[in-house]
Structure formats: C-alpha cells, structure tokens
C-alpha cells in the first residue's frame, strides 16, 4: 500500500495482455505474497468465465486460487468484508463499466485493488472497461505471450473460429496468442491459417524471438 503524506492509501494495479500471457499467473503470484504478509484478501471472477472450476481462478498452466464468482461488479462491493486489505479481480474485461467505479471506491477506502484482464478483444479493439481501468490505475503491467505462428512476442489474441460475438469463452481450441505481424482480425475461414506467407514470417522471427526473450 502507498504511504502518502503520512497516511496509508489504497491503489489500483492492472495486469493486462493477450490470452496466455500469464495474467492469471501474475495475479496469483501477487495474491500469494499478500497471504504471506498475512493480509486479508478476497478474489473475484465473473460467472461468465466458467471454463474451469467455479470457485477458483485458474491459469492455463493449472495454477489456481480460491475465489468468489460474481454476476456484476457491484456485487464485489457488497461482498467485501471489513478486514479485507487486498482485492483481486480476474477477467476484468467482462464486467460492465461500473467495474471502474467499484475499483475507485475500494482504492479510496484504502484497499489495494489488483485487476487482471484482456486489454484487447479478438479484433484488436480495446476491451470493455479496460482502457478506463488502465487510465485510473497507479500501476500497469502489460504482459506478452508467445506467438503461435512465429514464436515471437504476442500482444494479440487470435480467434480461430468464425463466431462474431465479442465474448466467446474458450481457451486452447478457440484462441491463440499472436504477434502484430501474424494477427489477422478478419480471420473467417479455417483455424490457424497464417496471416503471412511462411517466407515473410521467417524474416521477422529471429528479431522477435530475441525481443521476446528480453522482455518476458
Ligand atoms: P492468461 O491469464 O493471460 O490467459 P495464464 O496465466 O492463464 O494466462 O497462463 C499462462 C501460461 O500459459 C504460461 O505460463 C504457459 O504455461 C501457458 N501458455 C500456453 N500457451 C502459451 C503461449 N502461446 N504463450 C505463453 N504462454 C503460454
Ligand atoms: Mg487468465
């Protein structure tokens, strides 16, 4: 927590990036440290994300942490206990715009609020209230995944199905991480169709892999 003018104040942290970039792992890492510090923590996830066990936030690497599923952002406010010091919120992009007010209210009450979520949707557009949360946060971490096409640094989530809804919950089979060069927001045919001919991909691969290794 922030020591500010002699008083302790809360703050907002955002962990963002594409699918598979380690947002949930990073959230779990921070929450484990909070537990070691013996601070009371509460974790929430939206019920829309029912890919895995309901009472846990779960990473693609099968790390998990107990949580409370909620249907709306306001429910988070209602569920906070008096002695809670830290609030973790996974899949923040799925909440309505009131998630930003909720995060601000909690931080103003002196709590540390850690939100993890997709910064962009499957078209590469800013996702839900994430832009607002990024603007309001004291701390922002943008993670990268590994591009499934070229092995470079991935900042985008490629949808591999023809479904047009913004929210299509799924993991391995429906989405993959891709770099800007290999990302195809208009992919509408077969899954895993490369956005660039193989010859072009080879050219940018070594440089991107080096960058990926340096910044992961
Ligand atoms: P997120 O919450 O950002 O979707 P997770 O924390 O659930 O990510 O999972 C991150 C883990 O996913 C990595 O540590 C790694 O084991 C695995 N993984 C699978 N595919 C990829 C990929 N393309 N790039 C990076 N990590 C991947
Ligand atoms: Mg996640």
Using alpha carbons, select from 114, 108, 101 the residue that is nearest to residue 39.
114
pLDDT of residue 170: 58
Listed range (9-13, 98-102, 169-173) with the worst mean pLDDT: 169-173
57 DSSP β-pair partners? 65
> Is the predicted pLDDT of residue 8 greater than 60, yes or no?
yes
- The atom of ligand 1 lying closest to the CA of 21 is 3
Cα 101 to ligand 1 centroid, rounded to whole Å = 29
pLDDT band at 176 (very low <50, low <70, confident <90, very high): very high
Domains of the chain in sequence order:
2-143 (3.40.50.300), 146-215 (3.30.60.20)
Active site amino acids: 91
What is the C-alpha to C-alpha distance for residues 212 and 144, in angstroms, rounded to an integer?
A: 8
CA 130 to chain centre: 9
What is the C-alpha to C-alpha distance for residues 179 and 174, in angstroms, rounded to an integer?
A: 17
Would you call 59 helix, strand, or coil by DSSP?
A: coil
What is the C-alpha to C-alpha distance for residues 80 and 65, in angstroms, rounded to an integer?
A: 17
Q: Which residues contact 151 (CB under 8 A, 6 or more apart)?
A: 205, 208, 209, 212
Ligand 1 binding site (Cβ under 6 Å of any ligand atom): 17, 19-25, 59-61, 145-146, 148, 177
Which residue's CA is the nearest one to ligand 1's atom 22?
A: 146
Would you call 64 helix, strand, or coil by DSSP?
A: strand
- The atom of ligand 1 lying closest to the CA of 143 is 3
Ligand 1 mutation pick, 15, 60, 65, max ligand atoms within 8 A of CB:
60
pLDDT band at 165 (very low <50, low <70, confident <90, very high): confident
pTM as predicted:
0.84
What does the mean pLDDT of the chain come to?
85
In terms of Cβ atoms closer than 10 Å to its own Cβ (0-12, 13-18, 19+), residue 83 is exposed
């Amino acid at each position: 927590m922030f020591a500010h003018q002699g008083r302790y104040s809360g703050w907002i942290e955002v962990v963002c990036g594409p699918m598979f970039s380690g947002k949930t792992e990073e959230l779990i890492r921070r929450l484990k440290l909070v537990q070691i510090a013996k601070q009371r923590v509460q974790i929430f996830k939206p019920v829309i994300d029912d890919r895995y066990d309901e009472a846990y936030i779960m990473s693609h690497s099968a790390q998990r942490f107990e949580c409370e599923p909620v249907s709306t952002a306001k429910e988070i406010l209602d569920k906070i206990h008096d002695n809670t010091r830290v609030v973790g919120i996974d899949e923040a992009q799925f909440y309505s715009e009131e998630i930003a007010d909720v995060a601000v209210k909690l931080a103003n009450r002196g709590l540390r609020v850690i939100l993890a979520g997709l910064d962009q949707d499957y078209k590469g557009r800013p996702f839900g209230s994430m832009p607002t949360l990024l603007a309001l946060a004291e701390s922002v971490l943008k993670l990268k995944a590994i591009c499934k096409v070229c092995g470079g640094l991935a900042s985008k989530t490629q949808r591999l199905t023809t479904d047009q809804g913004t929210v299509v919950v799924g993991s391995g089979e429906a989405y993959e991480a891709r770099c800007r060069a290999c990302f195809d927001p208009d992919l509408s045919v077969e899954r895993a169709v490369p956005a660039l001919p193989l010859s072009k991909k080879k050219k940018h691969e070594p440089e991107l892999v080096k960058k990926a290794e340096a910044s992961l």
